[in-house]
């Protein structure tokens, strides 16, 4: 059977990297931000501004995951769905601690993107590599910029 035109030059290794590293990372981040948002929304915390900020971050990370899923489908790849673990942390003393945790999480996400970029480059898929590089360059700027 011939390789579908959309699948050409879309290596299996690239498909695995995007599924297991980036999509999973974005979904985990979305889940962690959701936990932060809802914690700040509790009656004993009552931090609606923080709650809104973290909810927007959760939606943004979820959107990143969906965009990668759409990309894999367009390239003729296969989506794999994994269990998203419960966030390791679900309480914070105050907003500053939550924002600090958020910043550390963004550093982890950036590292995952850069690792994926290196691995995709080694797999020889220039199209994916450009997309991941663009994502990596924008993530730090877009995350902290308010609309």
Any idea how long the chain is? 147
Two tokens, residue 54:
């973290």
Residue 14's nearest CA partner among 67, 83, 68 is 68
The answer to the question of whether 61 is labelled as a binding residue is: yes
Any idea what the Cα angle at residue 127 is, between residues 84 and 105, rounded to 5°? 35
Report residue 127: phi and psi, to 5°: -65, -50
> Given 3-state DSSP classes, what are the helix, strand and coil percentages for the chain, each rounded to the nearest 5?
75, 0, 25
Which residues are annotated as part of the binding site for Fe cation?
Answer: 61
Which residues are annotated as part of the binding site?
Answer: 61
């Amino acid at each position: 059977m011939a390789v579908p035109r959309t699948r050409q030059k879309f290596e299996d290794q690239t498909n695995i990297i995007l599924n297991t590293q980036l999509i999973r990372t974005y979904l985990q981040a979305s889940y962690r931000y959701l936990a932060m948002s809802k914690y700040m929304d509790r009656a004993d915390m009552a931090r609606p501004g923080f709650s809104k900020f973290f909810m927007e971050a959760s939606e943004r990370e979820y959107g990143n995951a969906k965009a990668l899923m759409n990309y894999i489908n367009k390239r003729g790849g296969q989506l794999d769905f994994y269990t998203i673990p419960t966030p390791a942390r679900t309480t914070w003393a105050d907003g500053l601690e939550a924002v600090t945790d958020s910043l550390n999480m963004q550093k982890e996400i950036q590292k995952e993107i850069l690792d994926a970029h290196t691995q995709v480059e080694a797999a020889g898929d220039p199209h994916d590599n450009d997309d991941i590089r663009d994502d990596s360059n924008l993530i730090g700027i877009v995350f902290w910029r308010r609309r």
